[in-house]
Amino acid sequence: MKFDKIFAITAVVAASFAFTTSTYAAPESDEPIIIVQNNWTSQLVLSNVVGQMLESKGYTVEYTPSDSQLQFTAIANGDMHFQVEAWEGSMKTAFEKAVADEGMVDAGKHGAVTREEWWIPNYVLDVCPDAGNWEGLNKCAALFATAETSPKGRFVGPPADWGKNYAARIDALNMDFIAINVGQAATLWAELQAAYDRKEPIVLFNWTPNFIESKFEGRFVDFPEPEAACFDDKAWGPNPKATGDCGAPHEAWLKKAAWKGIAETWPGAWEILQKVDFNNAQIARAALLVDVDGMTPEDAAKTWITENQTLVDGWLN
């Protein structure tokens, strides 16, 4: 027997063995599984990780960009099928509504613990020692002023479509800041790098897990811990005349979202997707491969899979 025939037979046997622990033979449908992509790095990389995993099992995968809030309506309607990173701090309301409407399902929580909040480099504490708290930061607002915001300080906010209305929080807490939203996540890091190089005071939106924690020394600014009453009871919180006078959760969930029809249309893929579970270090690593090492999200996903092959094999089989 020729070597190429031996190799082909070996490959078929190996492929068959890979499915011995799965209930389903893939693909059950030739229709593409549409994975949502958002405009921040870890989500782009991990979407590709999931997509490449599914493709290795024979599924057809497509990627579609979407607004971070409207995506859940699209998933509930079956126009998109899977979202790997749904963040409690910015997506909780839209996520839970889509689940309540019964078109979308909660596909499980990751092991990662998240936080989304105002953030300062540690050197800011040298000129404003109490800046780790919102009240102390506000007393030093003039240090963060720019030509665009003077005499008030500038808060460098996230892209507007991330659903983070910091202007409302600033008003509710009577802070001497103006929120200036950037167009994309990369601009946040460019602003931070420029300020960091010159040791200039800066306060900006940040989140964890993220590559930032491995590159820059800094900390989140503490605001009043949120409760439901913060958003509907003016008597709650430091400002008795306003709602929304609180921050984001210090420890929030990160979940997966899926169209309810996945389980019926691609049961084998659904089995895999429910197993996918990222921790903080794994998500930060995914972002670092692009934002620090300069890879494309597609190549970063390949590298990530290679570095975590045993974990990935467990999800697949």
- Tens of pLDDT along 258-286? 999 999 999 999 999 999 999 999 999 99
Where is average pLDDT lowest: 20-29, 72-81, 149-158, 181-190? 20-29
Count of Cβ atoms closer than 10 Å to residue 152 Cβ: 17
> What is the pLDDT at residue 76?
96
Q: What is the pLDDT of residues 110-157, one digit of tens each?
A: 999 999 999 999 999 999 999 999 999 999 999 999 999 999 999 999
The predicted model scores a pTM of 0.82
Mean pLDDT of the chain: 91
Q: pLDDT grade, residue 161 (50/70/90)?
A: confident
5-34 pLDDT per residue, tens:
333 433 333 333 333 344 566 689 989 999
Per-residue pLDDT, averaged over 66-93, amounts to 94
Residues 6+ apart with CB under 8 A from 171: 242
Helix (H) or strand (E) holding 187: helix 185-198
Cα 13 from Cα 280, distance rounded (Å): 36
Q: For 197-230, what is each residue's pLDDT tens digit?
A: 999 999 999 999 999 888 899 999 999 999 999 9
Instruction: Categorize the per-residue pLDDT at 68 as very low, low, confident or very high, splitting at 50, 70 and 90.
Output: confident
Interval 52-57 mean pLDDT: 97
Q: Angle at CA 154, nearest 5°, toward 41 and 253?
A: 40
Domains recognised in the chain with CATH numbers: 26-112+253-316 (3.40.190.10), 115-231 (3.40.190.100)
